[in-house]
Amino acid sequence: MTCEKIQEKYADYLTGDLDEAGRAEVQAHILGCQACREDLENLTVVWAKLGVLPEEQPGGAVRARFYALLEDEKRKAAAAAVPQARSRLADWLTFRRPAFAASFSVLLLLLGLGAGWFLSAGRPGRESYAALSREVQDMRQQVALSLLNDPSASERIQGVGYTAEVKDPSDTTLAALFKAVDADPNPNVRLAAVDALYLFRDRPGVRQNLVRSLSVQSYPLVQVALIDFLVEVREARAVEALKKLIEAGELTPDVKKRAEQGLRQIAL
């Protein structure tokens, strides 16, 4: 076998992808060929040296810019799609929100965190599993609460995503979500928070708070999301709030239409 043929095998040799027969050929050749032997030694050394280069993490701005780009793209798509009544649950679930795109990755992250906790905690027996689960839940909520206070909107959206993965959120967590719906400077965070609260719609206070929220909400998209929510859960108390909203005459035409339609749907 020629030196050239042997050298073709080096790439696979270095990655460990060369089969046994191939390795045997290389070994046999370098026994008798000093040039190739030295060549391969050098390559092996430099291959290993490349392994010392650390992987760097990109700055947080990369993520913020990406999510801004994605929001932009989704707004364009939503504008093209003409928002219509969304009475079907399936529609509702695939709604325009960013939170659940983000929350999938958050979920992966959490699974990782959870697994890490699991390992670092040794081998908890069956009896401590509940405690462990509780611990993970608490951790999620802590992370969520701290992210919800982050200056970056994409971080806050991630924070909302975390809360959506909590099985039984504390009152503090729910309060943070209500606050986000009412007062977050970014409408996408508000939308994400409405979405997350849908998961906790059976918790006391959630529906009332969102009915109240309807009267203070200023973003049309969020108004629509709130109406969708309240229609979806057939919230009777929303009837009064919707009527007032329509009478006040400050709604955009689209939202007004949705509110009137919502009124009819809740009554059904």
Partner 1 sequence: MNAERPRIPKAERMAPTDNELMEDVRDGRVEKLAVLFERYQTMLYNFFLRLTGNRAASEDLVQEVFIRILKYRSGYLSESRFNVWLFQIARNAHIDYLRKQKPALPLDEKHAETPGREPLPEAAYEADREAELVRRALDRLPVNKREILVLFRFQNLKLREIAELTGVQVGTVKAQVHRALKDLSRVYLELQRGDLS
Interface with Zn ion (CB under 5 A), residue total 3
DSSP string spanning 137-205? HHHHHHHHHHHHT-SSHHHHHHHHHHHHT-SS--HHHHHHHHHHHHH-SSHHHHHHHHHHHHHTTTSTT
Identity of the residue, 71 or 184, whose beta carbon is nearer to partner 1 in the bound complex: 71
Restricting to residues 203-242, name those near Zn ion by CB under 5 A.
Answer: none
Restricting to residues 70-109, name those near partner 1 by CB under 8 A.
Answer: 70, 73-74, 77, 89, 93-94, 96-98, 100-102, 104-105, 107-108
Task: Tell me how far, at minimum, the Cβ of 15 lies from Zn ion, in Å.
Answer: 21
CB 170 within 8 A of CB 139: no
In 26-176 the beta strands, taken as DSSP E runs, fall at none
Instruction: Pick one of Zn ion, partner 1, none as the site partner of residue 3 (Cβ within 5 to 8 A by kind).
Output: Zn ion
CA–CA distance from 134 to each of 95, 114, 137 (Å)?
31, 11, 5
Q: Is 3 in the site for Zn ion (CB under 5 A)?
A: yes
Quick one: which of 14, 18, 33, 70 contacts Zn ion (CB under 5 A)? Answer: 33
Which pair of tokens denotes residue 82?
């003409």
Q: Is 69 in the site for partner 1 (CB under 8 A)?
A: yes
The C-alpha R_g of the chain, in whole angstroms, comes to 28
Identity of the residue, 100 or 229, whose beta carbon is nearer to partner 1 in the bound complex: 100
Of 236, 225, 227, give the one whose Cα is nearest residue 266. 236
Task: Tell me how far, at minimum, the Cβ of 260 lies from partner 1, in Å.
Answer: 27
Of 189, 185, 233, 242, give the one whose Cα is nearest residue 213. 242
Residues in the site for partner 1, rule: CB under 8 A?
A: 7-12, 14, 39, 42-43, 45-47, 49-50, 52-59, 61-63, 65-67, 69-70, 73-74, 77, 89, 93-94, 96-98, 100-102, 104-105, 107-108, 111, 164-165, 167, 199, 202
